Amino acid sequence: MRVFADYTGPVADRCDVVVVGSGPCGAVAAYELAAAGRDVVLLEEGPPFTPADFELDGARSMARTMREGGLRFTSGYVMPTMQAIALGGGSLVNSAICGRCPDFRLAEWAEAAALERTARSDLDPHYDAIAAFLGIAPTPDEVQGRRNLLFRDGCQALGWDNEPCARNVVGCRGSGECFTGCRARAKQSMDISYVPAAIRAGARVYTSVQVQRVLAAGRRAGGVEGRVAAPFTGAPGPSFRIEAKAVVLAAGVLATPLLLRRSGDLANRSKQVGENLQFHPGTSVMGVFPEPVEPVFGATQGYQSLHFLREGFKLETLWAPPGVLAVRLPGSGLELEQKLLDMRRAAVWDCIASCKRSRGRVRERGRSLQPAVHWRFHPDDARTLGRAVWALAQIFFAAGAERILPGVAGLPDELGSLEAARVLERQPPRAADLVVASTHAFGTTRMHGDPARGVVDEDLKAHDLDNLYVVDTGVFPGSPAVNPMFTGMALARRSALALAARI
């Protein structure tokens, strides 16, 4: 295990498999390969964070754990999108929701991407193994807190499906701090779960190293090279080169395509590298209740409703640092301050849409490895998200909210009754009216049975090379309908086992 302070000069190493990126997908792949007896090197650009490094202040935390200080935006439809830079990748700061991709969606993937072995029954053994490893289980009522249980009550009153979120968490205290790092050490983020297990199994982990190029000749990848990168500033340090019999890229949806393009447009005979970018855009609604909710207590995202999954959206509870949540509150001056005081009686719930028609692409920004992300929000998809906002409004009033703050431009700041909220049904918000953000992204190195139409095959091996694999969520041929991490890990596990059997 190496950290920034360990690098005093150029680094050279040799192994069976080099894995780039220690997010959920890369960490699972590294562990499975090491556990299968392969000599593994895991490379991560970000540093490991200890609880002493966590910042409870949302702005400072994002500046340190997220790419571009947490200020990354898409162009086209301007939308913030967040990717982590840390040992453990997104798992350090995410809400730990682990959802299995539903059968109907995997059937759609199979049809659209000519897949033959990616049905739910194919993935379930991998989901099961990961669930057992990470202790994935439904969030217990005792740590839900009132803001999550009100969501349940509202759904029940409406007769809509609802369930506690299954999460990779053991011993949650309900601090609602998943976004800034779990100081209860309950969230089984990769840095405290799969990465230590990979190390125990013999993997060598280098943190604070930025891979800049995949070495390849003909149909074979030979390793990777790059530079040490100082934590937070990214200041370049000594160079490194890792030679390997196989290369596994798990740098994330926005980074892996840039690495491939920079390495001589590798694995891109299909011209699909960096294309087909899809997001789950999300928006939130705040509801104010007559009694205190004390939202400071409760699992970050403890409850969900899959009732409208086939219609293209999912509903969830949400918490984040108050400064991040309050950004969406309307008004200024004393009126705004009153709304801040109301937050003690408030819950915030969000919706994410599958967005089958919205597409984008990622390209390099100048000569850097920073992405220029372009994405267009299709009006049909925006309408779906608008319907989800109306659904949230109904849950709030069914749960007894006295008013909601829909956060939709052109509507009153507050809607005081279900009747008043019907405006959301009559006049569904348009893309331009919504305040949207996204942390779920897919598609830029998509898996496809046809080498002319996709980058990797069903084992996530690049069609164009014999020993290059891509295992991050960029391989999804489309939206997984639910939160993506668990499916990414399941696919990565399957891929790692296939690779381990080959070398």
Partner 1 sequence: MSSIPLPLRQLSAREARFFAAAADAAFPHGTTRDGPPLPSGTEAGVVAHLDGWLELLPRRNRTLIRLLIVFFEYATWVLPAPGRGGRRRFTALAPEQRVAVFEAWSGSRLRLRRLVFASLRMLLTSSYFASPAVLRATGLAPLAFATPVVEADLLYPPVGQARDAIRWRREDLSRPPLHAPLDPHGPLHPDYTEEGASTGERARAGESAGAGARG
Ligand X SMILES: Cc1cc2nc3c(=O)[nH]c(=O)nc-3n(C[C@H](O)[C@H](O)[C@H](O)COP(=O)(O)OP(=O)(O)OC[C@H]3O[C@@H](n4cnc5c(N)ncnc54)[C@H](O)[C@@H]3O)c2cc1C
Q: Which does 132 bind (CB under 5 to 8 A by kind): ligand X, ligand SF4, partner 1, none?
A: none
CB 326 within 8 A of CB 340: yes
Cβ pair 414, 404 in contact under 8 A? yes
CA distances, 75 to each of 94, 215, 251, 345 (Å): 24, 31, 21, 36
What residue 300 binds from partner 1, ligand X, ligand SF4, none (CB within 5 to 8 A, per partner kind)?
A: ligand SF4
Q: 89 touches which of partner 1, ligand X, ligand SF4, none (CB within 5 to 8 A by kind)?
A: ligand X
Q: Does 173 bind ligand SF4 (CB under 6 A)?
A: yes
List of residues 6+ apart from 403 with CB closer than 8 A: 287, 288, 414, 415, 416, 417
- Please report where in the chains the tokens 């959802």 appear, as a residue: 99
Q: Interface with ligand SF4 includes 144 (CB under 6 A)?
A: no
Of the pair 61, 272, the CB lying nearest ligand X is at 61
Residue with tokens 């381990």: 500
Can residue 120 be called a binding residue for ligand SF4 (CB under 6 A)? no
Q: Which does 104 bind (CB under 5 to 8 A by kind): ligand X, ligand SF4, partner 1, none?
A: none
Q: Give the shortest CB-451-to-ligand X separation in angstroms.
A: 22
**Residue span binding ligand SF4 (CB under 6 A) among the ranges 177-185, 304-312, 355-363, 407-415:** 177-185
Determine the Cα–Cα distance for residues 461 and 249; give it in Å rounded to an integer.
10
- Give the nearer residue to partner 1 in terms of CB position, either 59 or 452: 59
- For residues 351 to 380, the per-residue mask of contacts with ligand X, x marking binding by CB under 6 A and - elsewhere, is ------------------x-----------
Shortest reach from residue 153's CB to ligand X, in Å: 22
Closer residue to partner 1 (CB): 174 or 443: 174
The reply on whether position 44 binds ligand X by CB under 6 A is: yes
Do residues 100 and 120 lie in contact, with contact meaning Cβ atoms separated by under 8 Å? yes
Contacts of residue 95, defined as CB under 8 A and 6 or more positions apart, other chains included, come to: 165, 167, 178, 179, 300, 301, 318
Among 212, 300, 317, 438, binds ligand SF4 (CB under 6 A): 300
Residue 177 makes contact with ligand SF4 by CB under 6 A: yes
* Complex with partner 1: residue 47 or 222, whichever CB lies closer: 47
User: First CA to last CA across the chain, in angstroms?
Assistant: 24
Q: What is the DSSP letter of 338?
A: H
| 85 belongs to the binding site for ligand X (CB under 6 A) | yes
Least Å from the CB of residue 502 to ligand X: 22
Residue type, 15: C
Residues contacting 408, CB < 8 A, separation 6+? 389, 424, 429, 433, 434
Q: Report the relative pairing of strands 282-288 and 303-305 from DSSP bridges.
A: unpaired
Integer Cα distance of 374 and 497 in angstroms: 34
Give the one entry of ligand X, partner 1, ligand SF4, none that residue 43 binds, where binding means its C-beta sits below a cut-off of 5 to 8 angstroms depending on kind: ligand X
Stretch that binds ligand X, among 10-18, 83-91, 353-361, 380-388 (CB under 6 A): 83-91
Q: Which does 11 bind (CB under 5 to 8 A by kind): ligand SF4, partner 1, ligand X, none?
A: none
Min dist CB 65 to ligand X, Å, is 9
Q: What is the largest CA-CA distance in the chain?
A: 68
**Count of residues binding ligand SF4 (CB under 6 A)?**
15
Q: Which is nearer to ligand SF4, 62 or 106 (CB)?
A: 62
Does position 182 interact with ligand SF4 (CB under 6 A)? The reply is yes
If residue 382 lies in a helix (H) or strand (E), which one and from where to where? helix 379-398
Q: Residue 347 and residue 160: Cα distance in Å, rounded? A: 19
Question: Which residue, among 50, 125, 38, 238, has the nearest Cα to 491 in the 3D structure?
Answer: 125
Among 251, 329, 398, 411, interactor with ligand X by CB under 6 A: 251
Closest distance between partner 1 and the C-beta of residue 387, in Å? 20
- For residue 343, which of 358, 365, 327 has the smallest C-alpha distance? 327
User: Per CB under 6 A, does 211 bind ligand X?
Assistant: yes
The CB-of-249 to ligand X minimum distance in angstroms stands at 9
> Shortest gap between Cβ of 76 and partner 1 (angstroms)?
12
Q: Quick one: 95 or 278, whose CB is closer to ligand SF4?
A: 95
Q: Is 237 a binder of ligand SF4 (CB under 6 A)?
A: no
Residue 157 or 170: the one with the smaller Cβ distance to partner 1 is 170
The interface mask with ligand X, positions 436-465, x = CB under 6 A, is: ---xx-------------------------
Binding residue for ligand X, selected from 147, 389, 484, 495, defined by CB under 6 A: 484
Q: What is the DSSP letter of 456?
A: B
Q: What CA–CA distances, in Å, run from 265 to 146, 153, 181, 213, 331? A: 51, 52, 36, 11, 48
Is residue 347 within 8 A of residue 295, CB to CB? The reply is: yes
**CA distance linking residue 483 with residue 474, whole number of Å:** 14
Could you tell me which residues are beta bridge partners of residue 206?
2, 43
> CA 329 to CA 318: how far, in whole Å?
15
Q: Give the C-alpha separation, 290 to 199, whole Å.
A: 51
Least CB distance to partner 1 at residue 361 (A)? 21
d(CA 382, CA 377): 7
Positions touching ligand X (CB under 6 A) are: 20-26, 43-46, 82-86, 89-91, 93-97, 179, 210-211, 250-252, 255, 259, 301, 369, 439-440, 472-473, 483-486, 488
Positions touching ligand SF4 (CB under 6 A) are: 96, 169, 172-178, 182, 184, 186-187, 299-300
